[in-house]
Each structure stands twice: as C-alpha cells, then as structure tokens.
Structure 1
Amino acid sequence: MPAGPRPTGPRAFDRRLLSAGAVVALAATVVTGCSSGSSSSSSSPAASSSASSAAASAPGGSNQLQDDYQRVISDVLPSVVQITTANGLGSGIVYDTKGNIVTNAHVVGSATTMTVALPNSTKTLDATLVASYPESDLAVIKLNSPPSGLKPAAFGDSKKVEVGQITLAMGSPLGFSSSVTQGIVSATGRTVSEPSTAGSPGATIGNMVQTSAAINPGNSGGALVNLASQVIGINTLAATDPDTNGSVAPGIGFAIPAATITSIADQLIKDGKVTNSGRAALGITARTAFDAGYQPVGAVIITTAPGGPAASAGLQAGDVITKLGDVEITTLNSLTTALASLAPDTKVTVAYTREGQSKTADVTLGTLATA
C-alpha cells in the first residue's frame, strides 16, 4: 500500500514497509505502503478470513453476523483482482465493465503494462496503464481484452462512514490472492504521509479511513468494504512501530476514501489526467526554513502564484509560515500535511514572520494545481 516501493512476495516485506517513513499526524507510528515486492504469488481460490470468534456459528442456528460476512464476500470479492508488474504485486478493484481497474499508484509504479488475475481464475490477463496520479496515490489500468461477466464494485458514500462500522479488507496480502480480513472503522478524517522512496515522492493524503482490519504488503489497491457490500476505501497503508525496528503495528491501517477514489478515477478515465484534485493549496512554492542553530522553524515561501490565495492575501517570497489555523508549522512537510486536512475554499488564518516581525493573514485556500 505504500507509494513507490513495490509489494513484496510471501517471504519478503516491501522495502518501504521496513523503512522509517513519515509520521502519522496523531501518533508516533510510521506509515508504510502495502504492496508486495516480489512478483511471486500464492493463489487461493477460496477467500481466507480472520473473522472474529463472535462470528462463529452459534449452537442451534446460524449466526447473523457470519451470514453477513459471507454475503459481503460473495458480493464483492469477484471485483477484487491481483495485479502483477515486473517489480511486484498488489491488488485492484474492477471499476466498470469496460475493463478499467482502480488501484494505488505505488502498486503500478513506473510500469505501463502488467498482468491481472481475476478471482477464482487460473488465467492472467494483460493490462495497460490508463493514467496515474501519485499525489493521491491512485491509478487506473485497463484490461486489453476485457472478458464478459466483469463485476464492477459498488462504492459507498464517504459521508456515511462512521467509527465502529464493521469493515472487511480484501486483496492479496503477501501474494495470497482473494484474502479477507475483518475489523472496524477505527477513525475517519486521518491525514497521513507516506514515506518517500526512490521513484516515489511519498504522498500526503487527507480524509483517510483508519481501520483495524489487518492490512499487509500486497493488500495495496484492494477494497475496504462495509456490510452493505460497498467499497468505502482502497487499502493503502499500514503503520509500523518505530520502537520495534519498523515492525508492523497490528490493527492500524489506512484506506483512501471512496469519494476521492471515484473523483480521481473518473478524471483519469475521461481525460487521462486529473484536472480537479480536490486538494487545498496556498498557491506557493516553499521549503523548510532553519534558524541559526539549523533547527527547522517553518516553511519559507520561495514564490507565490500571481493572483493565487497567498498572493491575494498579501504573502510574498521570503515570508516564513509558522502556523496554519491552529496547526504549528515547523517544516515544509508539516505545512503539506496541514493543507491535506483542509478543503479548497476554506478560509484559514496564516501566521508568518517577515523580516523578524510576526504577522497574520486570512487566506481563502485554492485548489492544488495539476499537471
């Protein structure tokens, strides 16, 4: 699920999963991607599930929760595929009957061609990259010869996702295709930064869904599903614990929300690029500012876009941003993370210093420009 590194196979974790990456906004956990690095895989026609003991059959009759799990798996698992590139493997979700499949950008990486294995099939299908948008870690690929009977997934309403809802994570963890784990929505609205690696800038993504469902390398691009058989997110990141040499922190995973998936995927399919990112921006280029002791003290503006949000509010090159709303800004990364949690057209107070003087400006955020 990380951006950049590829999923590792059953015996090797993704390099990114073991690297010390960016810190989750609310805890000292390091997020890592969930694709598998080796192209080897272990196919399993039947889904494996970590359903809790509460879902076990009760004496004297079937258990309703178990029945619900099995219904959802039957509904959605046929829409979850395994994607293999020259560098590794991950998962994807059938988006339409034309053969478009949505996945994480880091699953695709730099590949323009790949193979896709449908559930319960021993045959692989060739696919080609439609377009990728690493800034939101999303990509669309398309089957060259879509078979009949493709089953697109149904996507849920992100506004209706609530803490405590039961979730199922579907994908190919460690190369074991058609695997299912279960948990709950642990939190919503998380802003998480992926670790940067060679070939991947490490996206900062807002409004992510946190889940306790087990997510491992190879799950990247797979489906996080509710009990209404709707995809509420794409499994993208697992957390690691820096106090245990980067081992995976059980029960802390993150998924890109459905609203972001459908918005970006529709644009990639229609235009081959993203024209409306839906991400907030100040309209500046910047870098981390350091004091005389080489300690980070903010984000210094290098340039402002003419007529952009910052310029319109009076900010200029050389100003050092120290606060965005209630969030302290000490580095460029902290500014990027703060912006990722906000929406375009939001009005926010920016605190900054100019020639040693502290100042503030009210800025109406714009939309992050796209290529």
Structure 2
Amino acid sequence: MNDQQQSGPERPDEPADVEHTLRLPGEQAQQQAPQQAQQQAPQQAQQQAQQQAQQQAPQQAPQGYPQYGQYGQQPYGRYGAQQQGAHAQQGAPSYVPSGPASYSPTQQQGRVYPQPYAGYGTAGPSYPQAERKEKRRGALWPVAVLALVVGLVGGAVGGAVVDQWQEATQDPGRTSGGLADVDTVSKAPLPADNGSIAAVAKKTLPSTVQIIAKTGGDESSGATGSGFFLDSQGHVVTNNHVVAEAADGGEIEVIDQAGKRYPATVVGRSPIYDLAVLYLKNPPKDIKPASLGNSTNLQIGEGVVAIGSPLGLSSTVTSGIVSALDRPVTTGGDANNVASYINAVQTDAAINPGNSGGPLVDMRGQVVGVNSAIATTGGSLGGESGNIGVGFAIPIEQVKVTADQILKDGEARYPVIGASVDSDGSGDGAHIKDVEKGSPAEQAGLEKGDVVTALNDRAVTDSPTLIVAIRSHLPGDEVTLTVDRDGQTKKLQVTLDSKVG
C-alpha cells in the first residue's frame, strides 16, 4: 500500500499561503441556514423558516471539494513494459491484481496502486475544502506541494483533523452534559494487555519511522512514506517507490517516533520486490529494531496491525485481520518501467497514502509484512479513493531475503526461468510467448505456445500469477511446471536462474 508531511509534535509545516480549519460535511450550510431564514421571514416565523432551511441545508454540496475518489497525480505510477522472470508482454496492465478471486482486466473491479506519496492525492471522503488564509509557514511543505495543484485535501485533511481533535480535547467542559465536571473515572492509563492492539502499538511504534525523500534538491517535488528499523546499526526498510526518485542525487530524511530527524542514504533497492534499505548517516545509540516474525505461519482471519504515517499523520495505528494469503498483486512500474509483482498478504487494516513501507504486525508485535499497495474503486487510471479495506503487504520472509542480499552485496537478485509470457487474462493459465536460448526454461523443455497451469501445487491462472509464483522462490530452487501442450499435460522440472533487480 506515497505519502505526506508529518503531523503531531514534529509535523512539517504547511504551505506558506494556506491555513486549514475543519468544517464537517453540512456544517457550513446548517450554520448559514438560520441567517437566511431570518432575512426571509418576520420574527414570529423564524422557527418555521429555520426548520425549512435546515432541511434544505444537507442538500447543499460543499464548495470546491473534489468528488470522493478523486486523487492527485501519482509520481510513482508509470505502467510500462514488464521485464520479469517470466516476462509479461509489453504494454500489459500492471495496475490490477490478478489470480483467483482477485482483480483482473476482465473483471473491471478496481485498481491496485502502490501507496502514493503524501500530498500526491489523498483520501478524505467526508471533508469539504478547507478555508484559506494568509499565513507564513516553513519550507518543508514543497515535498507535497503537488497536492495544492491537484488535490488540496492532502494538506487540509491531515492538518484539519488534528487541529479539531486538539481543540476538542483541550476544553472538555465545552461538551454537552455534566460528565466533564464530575471526576468519577481514574485518570491513570490502563495497562496494555499482552496481545492487545495497545500492547502491539507500544512495542512497535518506537521502531517505526517516517521517511521524506526530496528529488535532486528540488524543494517542489519528492515523496514521503514509512519504514522501520531493521537493526540497531541504523538500517531502515521501506518501499522502493518511496525513495526511488531521490535515490540518485536527492535527499532522504528519516524521522523517528520522537520527531528527531536523521539524514539517510540508500544502501540498495529492489524495484522487482518494491523494497529498499536505507542507512542513517548519524544513527542514535538507542535504536529499537523491529521484531521480525514469520509470514509463512500467518492464518487467514488472525489479527494484524498496520503502523505508519497515512496522510502525513505520523505514528498512526490501525487494525484488522489477514484477509487472504498469497494474493498475486501487480503494481505500477518505477522510473525504468519495472513493475513489481507481489505475493501479497491481504488485509482489511486501514492503509492509506503515507503507509508505504510501514510494518504490518501480528498480535505478538512481530512484523509480518511491509505495507505496499491498496486496491481502490477509482473509476479511471490514476484515480484513487483511499482505503476500502483491501490492502496488500509484502511478506516478511521475502523482505528478509531481499534485505539480506542488499546488505551483503548492495543489490538484490530475483529468480527467473528465461521465458516471456503473454499478458492476456484468459484465466486458463500463463501462455508462453518466447523461450530464451540456453535458459532454464529451454533446458527443461518448455516451448513457445505452452500454457503453464501450475507451479508445484499452486494453480496458475494467468501470467502475473506465474510471475508471482516464481518470485516467491529463491534462485537455485527447483520447481515443477505443469504445462498444457496441444491438449496434453506435461510436467517439467526447472531450476531457477537469477537476475539483479
């Protein structure tokens, strides 16, 4: 499941020309309605006029607010040729998940996007456009300045919600009723039960960070996301799409839970798996690494917690369950048109722009995935509508392998068979388009025109499913391909080769 300026104690400043205040849906119309009634009726008829105006008020649409589901442009959203272990045909749709009970080009059910960077479009279905006032602020906002052009609610929702919350809690006496004046409840915090969401949050929040990536020193462009400490030496795991455009010549900053900022460099990236490892230039001595779990032990229905900085709101905790396992998901390509294929953990925990790279944690407080993508009901390419309860995370077992390769060699490798596949979504398997000479596929006897219907015991319904199945293994693994050739079923043993990516 990109992302945005931080909120809370160390939230980056908002734009110099914008200050946001929250107005709930219908609030503006309801406040104006009594005044309109008073102007149109004598004093003795005010009550009747007010009732009529209030009945009409909810029908008035907030002014200037984009329709629910409209999002800003995603800088990380280039859908290009797919150069993979089993290569998909160039031009194949790379923004839809695939596989059984998934989203396919023929189903037209939704789109999958890597979590966009803060400010490059946001979710906020219930908030009208914020008021605008002149006020000078700091300079960090340009990281998300595109929101002012195409989304605006990127800054409005994040800042306005926090401002409203602070206002409500600072003056409890303003609430209706008399409970605020009666001290009948202990103010001491309740202990967090082991295995509770509170206990998971307490354990994992100190290991979670926010990441700001600015492109080539250009204050007007960049991305933000989330991540977590991999070790006590200062290595951080995040999504490749969070830092990709700042990896060469840009600036990357990591912000910990306490709000302290650290410059960071990229140790290595894997566009294929949408993962990256960063290193803090001056790491603190009190780093608390995240506890890594085992995604192979996950069960559908068990509880999980997502932690990150959605919409720039740092240290945000949401919860849900594991909705599905081994979900084939394809996300848009990077700057070099390399798409990411994820053998994903699906969850209904709320994941929004800003959660990219953050941890998905089980109820033992162990990281079981890296939040990377969401499915949306956006009606057009590039459109998004925020969290709808369908989020995807990269399994931690894959993260461990890729991060270890990057730390040892500065690069990651992924398995290939040396064949390309058509991009059609026929549902009967992966159609082999070409076989490279001397490749493992050729040595195993795979031929052009073959239809792969299974890899080991895993059914293959289309090309992305085959690619994801291959990439869930390691280079050097031997796998069994079930192939349909002219109506006859064949079993082929293939030893996986590797490429850098």
TM superposition score normalised by structure 2: 0.59
**What is the aligned counterpart of 1:125 among 241, 262, 270?**
262
CA drift of 1:160 comes to 1.6
Secondary structure in 2 matching 1:324: strand
Instruction: State the percentage of identical aligned residues.
Output: 32
CA drift of 1:247 comes to 2.5
Distance in 1, Cα, partners of 2:257 & 2:345: 25
CA drift of 1:360 comes to 5.2
Calculate the aligned-residue CA RMSD, in Å.
Answer: 3.4
> Which stretches in structure 1 are left out of the alignment for 5+ residues?
49-58, 291-296
For 1:68, the equivalent position in structure 2 comes to 196
Tell me whether 1:303 sits opposite 2:377 in the alignment.
no
Matches within 5 A, 1:34-113: 34-38=115-119, 39-40=143-144, 68-86=196-214, 87-112=222-247, 113=251
Distance in 1, Cα, partners of 2:299 & 2:390: 16
Letter of the aligned partner of 2:237 in structure 1?
Answer: V
For 2:96, the equivalent position in structure 1 comes to 22
Q: How many residues align?
A: 334
CA drift of 1:7 comes to 3.0
Distance in 2, Cα, partners of 1:171 & 1:266: 23
Distance in 1, Cα, partners of 2:118 & 2:195: 35
Distance in 2, Cα, partners of 1:188 & 1:163: 7
- Cα offsets for 1:275-310 (capped at 9, x unmatched): 4x3x4x3222x25389xxxxxx93310523x1x431
Kindly indicate whether the alpha-carbon contact (under 8 Å) linking 1:241 and 1:249 is maintained by their aligned counterparts in 2.
Answer: no
CA drift of 1:138 comes to 0.8
Secondary structure in 2 matching 1:135: coil
Q: Sort the Cα spacing of 1:64 and 1:129 in 2 relative to 1 into closer, same or farther, 3 A.
A: closer
Tell me whether 1:314 sits opposite 2:452 in the alignment.
no
CA drift of 1:18 comes to 12
> Which stretches in structure 2 are left out of the alignment for 5+ residues?
7-13, 15-70, 80-92, 104-109, 120-142, 145-154, 166-184, 215-221, 425-429
CA drift of 1:75 comes to 0.8
Distance in 2, Cα, partners of 1:130 & 1:289: 33
- Cα offsets for 1:292-336 (capped at 9, x unmatched): xxxxx93310523x1x431122235xx12333325344xx55643
Matches within 5 A, 1:1-371: 1=1, 6-7=2-3, 13=72, 15=74, 21-25=95-99, 26-28=101-103, 29-38=110-119, 39-40=143-144, 68-86=196-214, 87-112=222-247, 113-121=251-259, 123-196=260-333, 198-206=335-343, 208-242=344-378, 246-248=384-386, 250-275=388-413, 277=414, 279=415, 281-284=416-419, 286=420, 288=422, 298-304=431-437, 306=438, 308-316=439-447, 319-325=448-454, 326-329=459-462, 333=464, 335-337=466-468, 339-340=470-471, 344-352=477-485, 361-371=490-500
Distance in 1, Cα, partners of 2:418 & 2:374: 31
Secondary structure in 1 matching 2:436: strand
Letter of the aligned partner of 1:100 in structure 2?
Answer: H
Kindly indicate whether the alpha-carbon contact (under 8 Å) linking 1:24 and 1:30 is maintained by their aligned counterparts in 2.
Answer: no
TM superposition score normalised by structure 1: 0.78
Distance in 1, Cα, partners of 2:190 & 2:234: 37
- Cα offsets for 1:5-42 (capped at 9, x unmatched): x5356996562689982234223332111132443486
- Cα offsets for 1:215-243 (capped at 9, x unmatched): 00110000111111101111111111255
Kindly indicate whether the alpha-carbon contact (under 8 Å) linking 1:13 and 1:217 is maintained by their aligned counterparts in 2.
Answer: no
For 1:294, the equivalent position in structure 2 comes to none
CA drift of 1:252 comes to 0.6
Distance in 2, Cα, partners of 1:217 & 1:152: 24
CA drift of 1:249 comes to 5.3
Q: Sort the Cα spacing of 1:67 and 1:313 in 2 relative to 1 into closer, same or farther, 3 A.
A: closer
**Larger Rg: 1 or 2?**
2
Kindly indicate whether the alpha-carbon contact (under 8 Å) linking 1:31 and 1:194 is maintained by their aligned counterparts in 2.
Answer: yes
More strand by share: 1
Kindly indicate whether the alpha-carbon contact (under 8 Å) linking 1:99 and 1:150 is maintained by their aligned counterparts in 2.
Answer: yes
Letter of the aligned partner of 1:23 in structure 2?
Answer: P
Q: Sort the Cα spacing of 1:13 and 1:88 in 2 relative to 1 into closer, same or farther, 3 A.
A: same
Q: Sort the Cα spacing of 1:299 and 1:314 in 2 relative to 1 into closer, same or farther, 3 A.
A: closer
More helix by share: 2
CA drift of 1:124 comes to 1.4
Distance in 2, Cα, partners of 1:249 & 1:68: 23
CA drift of 1:203 comes to 0.7
